[in-house]
Amino acid sequence: MKKGLFITFEGLEGCGKTTQAKMLFDFLIKQKIPSIYTKEPGGTKIGDKIRKILLDQKNDGMDYKSEMLLFLASRAENVRLIILPALEEGKVVISDRFYDSTTAYQGYGRGIDLKIIKHLNNLVVGKAIPDLTFILDIDPYEGLRRSASFGNSHEMRFEEEFLNKKIIEGKLFLERVRHGYYQLSREETGRIKIIDANRNKEDIFEEIVKIVNKKVSHIY
Ligand code: TYD
């Protein structure tokens, strides 16, 4: 039985979601609310190996279906080993990306059938359905500009593809991903909150904390 609270952060590269997810984690820990932070792809031993394959620039040209299945495989490990056990212990789980990324990137971005993605996502996550999701919304180019300046040079397959190689297709791809996120937020207005990420991190955090506090006060 799921007892904790599951919060996910989503958005395009460079939107600042990792910063916000970690700020929220630190904030909750300071309030003595038991919480964990995890990220996708990765977060487990097998997940970290999958992450390396996915983000390695040498794997340029990977089949989109392989890519999708690897993201899902990483998620299956994360759900089983990290997310569900923590929720069962009543913790707040903060995940930096989760299944909406697959819908937005592989579905709306790459064009894989959304119905298939929905089935596979449901199969993989089971009861681990987020209670609250923040999509940090940013212009694709502004985000890429930011992420290129602080990214890990070994893990830039996606940024490389979007920014350097096929600049027009890259931009269009990210526009489709952004549109996918908007679409998801319209379908699930209760769970998904779009946050304007074009502000300073303190203002963004203040908005996020207000929303989280409402949920947390029901549980803890
Ligand atoms: P990462 O280096 O973790 O970047 P970020 O800080 O943006 O999360 O790279 C993850 C990349 O993988 C990012 O471009 C989004 C992409 N992605 C998908 O395409 N599908 C997915 O299901 C997930 C979880 C991520």
Question: Does 97 contact ligand 1 (Cβ within 6 A)?
Answer: yes
For residue range 97-131, what is the model confidence (pLDDT) as tens digits? 999 999 999 999 999 999 999 999 999 999 999 99
| Residue type at position 20 | Q
Question: Does 8 contact ligand 1 (Cβ within 6 A)?
Answer: no
pTM of this prediction exceeds 0.85: yes
What is the pLDDT at residue 166?
A: 60
Q: Please state the atom number of ligand 1 nearest to the C-alpha of residue 12.
A: 7
Residues 151 and 147: their CA atoms lie apart, in Å, by 5
Q: At what angle do helices 45-55 and 64-78 cross, to 10 degrees?
A: 160
Residue holding tokens 């893990």?
155
SS3 labels along 165-192: HCHHHHHHHHHHHHHHHHHHHHHCCCCE
What is the pLDDT at residue 181?
A: 98
For residue range 191-201, what is the model confidence (pLDDT) as tens digits? 999 999 999 99
Residue holding tokens 């929905």?
118
> 170: pLDDT confidence band, cut at 50, 70 and 90?
confident
Task: Enter the tokens of residue 17.
Answer: 């979601």
**Ligand 1: residue whose CA is nearest its atom 10:** 41
Q: Is the pLDDT of residue 220 over 80?
A: no
C-alpha 178 to ligand 1 mean position (Å)? 13
Contact 12, 139 (CB under 8 A): no
Question: Does 77 contact ligand 1 (Cβ within 6 A)?
Answer: no
Residues 166 and 148: their CA atoms lie apart, in Å, by 16
Q: Is the pLDDT of residue 10 over 90?
A: yes
**Ligand 1: residue whose CA is nearest its atom 25:** 101
> 167: pLDDT confidence band, cut at 50, 70 and 90?
low
What is the pLDDT at residue 47?
A: 97
Closest CA to 75 of 118, 108, 44, 107: 44
Closest CA to 6 of 113, 94, 78, 74: 94
Quick one: the chain helix, strand, coil %, rounded to 5? 60, 15, 25
